[in-house]
Amino acid sequence: MATAAEKSIIISAEVQKEGFIAHNFDAIKNAVEDKIKPYMGLIFQDEDIRDAKGTLADLRKMRTSIEDKRKAIKKQWNQPYDEFEAKVKEIVAVIDKPIAEIDDQVKDYQARKKEEKKTECEGIIEGILASIDDDNDREFVTACGVTFDERWLDATTAISQVEKDVFDQVKKILGDASSIADVCEGDEMLTDLLVDYKRSKDLSAVLRRRKDILEARVAAKKRKEEQEAKKAAEAERKAQELNETSTSTEDTPVPENVSQGPDEAPVEQEAPSRLNLAFSLEGTSGDLADIMAIIRSKTDVRVTRLYGHVDSEGSSFWTAKKEN
């Protein structure tokens, strides 16, 4: 192996003398300032725009000629360095070839070591999960999954640190699951919330969803109570109408003859036979009110309300009179 001194290469190159550019800047500056004076403060009217454009062209031509000279001197000044730089790059290219070959080997080694450590880290995760005694806890943590930290693959990260990180993740998952179970207190939402946690492992998000569910339940209960109260009020109203209509019908006499107009001759018509039916109806007050409304819509039908009675022997019977 060559020593460090033998490996070192000394480049013999230096600036032979301080750079110097001969110029007449002061004279040029004075001449330019004198030539520019007539143009300073010029104001052109609309009818003089043509002259303004010509003046602008002259000034730009003067500027361009000076800039062109500067660029030519710069190119001449940089020529020795450009030649030197090109030669140095040829030498660097020779060195770059073995650098690339060795760098590929180093990268290949590092990739293999990372892959080996990745396998080792995965084994640590599997071992820690297997060490969880409770079957339900082990299945839950496995379903949630341990997050693989890419920093574990760094050569500077010890295996003991990997083990600690995995244990910490397992502890947090089980702790979060316990917190969710505690706040749910056996509520049926527990299963859904645990499924949410498996996907996100975000306890705050799961607790926010629990709050939303509880608020939705309260709102639904309130709506149901309002609907039931509305139905009860409507049923009570119909029952009241039914009771009032029945009482009014009992007291309304049924006309036996229809009077004729003074100029109309009586017409002999055969009276239709009438039937008397007695029956009982059973149903909700709303349904009974609807049925009674239909019956009363028939103008030639008389409705008589019957009242239930019980005789001394316990037999029931109905009459059109209320029991005293």
How far apart (Å, rounded) are the C-alpha atoms in residues 225 and 231? 10
pLDDT of residue 5: 44
How far apart (Å, rounded) are the C-alpha atoms in residues 50 and 290? 99
Tokens of 20: 């110097």
pLDDT at 39 over 50: yes
Q: Which of 24-38, 54-68, 251-265 has the lowest mean pLDDT?
A: 251-265
Q: Average of pLDDT values for 116-139?
A: 96
Instruction: Look at strands 307-310 and 316-319 and give their pairing.
Output: antiparallel
Tokens of 280: 């009982």
pLDDT tens-digit series, residues 60-102: 998 898 899 889 989 988 998 899 899 999 989 999 999 999 9
More confident residue, 6 or 57: 57
How far apart (Å, rounded) are the C-alpha atoms in residues 206 and 189? 11
pLDDT at 116 over 90: yes
CB atoms within 10 A of CB 121: 21
Tokens of 197: 């946690």
Is the pTM above the cut of 0.85?
no
pLDDT tens-digit series, residues 266-280: 555 565 666 666 667
Residues with Cβ within 8 Å of residue 5, at least 6 apart in sequence: none
Angle, helices 203-250/285-296, rounded to nearest 10 degrees: 40
Amino acid at 148: F
Q: Which of 123-137, 199-213, 285-299 has the lowest mean pLDDT?
A: 285-299
Burial annotation 284-293 (CB, 10 A radius, 16+ → b, else e): ebeeebeebe
* Three-state secondary structure call for residue 194: helix
- Could you give the dihedral angle defined by the CA atoms of residues 133, 134, 136 and 137, in that order, rounded to the nearest 10 degrees? -70
Residues with Cβ within 8 Å of residue 142, at least 6 apart in sequence: 129
Instruction: Report the Cα 267 to chain-centroid distance in Å.
Output: 84
- Could you give the dihedral angle defined by the CA atoms of residues 254, 257, 262 and 263, in that order, rounded to the nearest 10 degrees? 130
pLDDT tens-digit series, residues 158-199: 999 999 999 999 999 999 999 999 999 878 899 999 999 999
The values of phi and psi at residue 144, to 5°, are -70, -40
pLDDT range class, residue 25, cuts 50, 70, 90: confident
Query: Do 177 and 197 form a contact (C-beta atoms < 8 A)?
Result: yes
pLDDT of residue 117: 97
pLDDT at 260 over 60: no
How far apart (Å, rounded) are the C-alpha atoms in residues 281 and 168? 73
**Percent of the chain predicted with pLDDT > 90:** 46
pLDDT range class, residue 257, cuts 50, 70, 90: low
Amino acid at 150: E
- Which residue is listed with tokens 């709050």? 211
